[in-house]
């Protein structure tokens, strides 16, 4: 189970009349406790070995490990709120989260201290002080996922790409993917046990893109929100279309049916990466 690495931490509060926090190891510094600032985290993680982003009873989660590390650094328990959930085994290069703390801390020192405590599979790429009303989930305007596949054997990226044999027809899949763009009810591509009642999402971009290495591709999907299992179900369905197992004009009919049983199987989790989350000042990543 991934765990927070331990280091010596000294807390200068209570018996310390200054009420200040002495930080971890040689990077000790002090900041006074005053208001309740909000910090934004940019997080990268390898989802293998985790039960997903959200805290769960059945295994370690990214959220739980982050909250444990913050508790060590800040000497207080603070909840971490992510921009959205990722499933077990799904990765992220651009997950965004926020937390609020009763102590003021330097963002750069906080980033360094967290990265010193977190397991190698989780990295904090940035820590930013943001307005108090910032919310990682509700303020997000768009999310961008990539699903990575390989049509020739790959050794170094075998844990990050779904190896497809035989190779599907990517032009056929791209023609089908155009019908995903727009505002639709995506019940057909949502896990049946998902509790979400609102299944309507707006997709801004859906396309297969060749990667630099011949035979490698990724599916790029940008939307305002995503349902549980949505990207993997879409990818699995498009692969069936690319192999001629389903008509390339089937997407509108599948969307209208609102029946998960009619879509293809979910693609494996290891090929999916949350690449970025956009907020008010971030332009839509549409070419």
Just list the catalytic residues: 87
Alpha carbon distance 118, 124 (integer Å): 9
Please report, for residues 11, 79, 84, 152, the alpha-carbon distance to residue 226 in angstroms, rounded to integers and kept in the order given: 41, 23, 8, 30
* Neighbour tally for 286: CB within 10 Å: 12
Our CA angle for 166, 167, 171, nearest 5°, is: 145
Most distant pair of Cα atoms in the chain: their distance: 73
Alpha carbon distance 148, 209 (integer Å): 10
Give the DSSP H/E element, type plus range, for residue 142: strand 142-150
Alpha carbon distance 151, 182 (integer Å): 29
SS3 135: coil
Give the DSSP H/E element, type plus range, for residue 62: helix 62-74
Structure letter (DSSP) for residue 21:
-
């Amino acid at each position: 189970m991934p765990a927070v690495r331990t280091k010596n931490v000294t807390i200068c509060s209570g018996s310390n009349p200054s009420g200040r926090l002495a930080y971890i190891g040689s990077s000790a510094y002090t900041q006074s406790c005053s208001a309740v600032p909000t910090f934004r985290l940019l997080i990268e993680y390898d989802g293998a070995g985790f039960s997903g982003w959200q805290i769960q009873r059945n295994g370690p989660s990214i959220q739980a490990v982050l909250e444990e590390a913050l508790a060590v650094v800040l000497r207080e328990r603070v909840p971490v709120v992510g921009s959205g959930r990722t499933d077990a085994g799904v990765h992220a290069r651009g997950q965004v989260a926020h937390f609020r703390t009763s102590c003021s801390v330097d963002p750069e020192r906080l980033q360094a201290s967290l990265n010193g405590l977190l397991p190698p599979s989780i990295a904090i790429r940035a820590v930013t002080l943001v307005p108090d009303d910032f919310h990682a989930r509700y303020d997000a305007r768009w999310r961008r996922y990539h699903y990575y596949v390989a049509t020739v054997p790959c050794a170094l990226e075998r844990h990050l790409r779904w190896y497809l044999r035989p190779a599907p027809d990517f032009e056929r899949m791209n023609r089908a993917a155009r019908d995903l763009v727009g505002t639709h009810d995506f019940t057909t591509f949502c896990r049946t046990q998902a509790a979400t009642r609102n299944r309507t999402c707006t997709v801004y971009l859906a396309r297969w893109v060749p990667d630099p290495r011949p035979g490698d591709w990724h599916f790029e999907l940008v939307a305002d929100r995503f349902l549980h299992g949505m990207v993997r179900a879409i990818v699995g369905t498009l692969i069936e279309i690319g192999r001629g197992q389903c008509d390339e004009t089937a997407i509108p009919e599948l969307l209208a049916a609102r029946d998960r049983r009619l879509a293809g199987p979910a693609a494996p989790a290891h090929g999916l990466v949350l690449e970025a989350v956009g907020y008010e000042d971030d332009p839509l990543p549409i070419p």
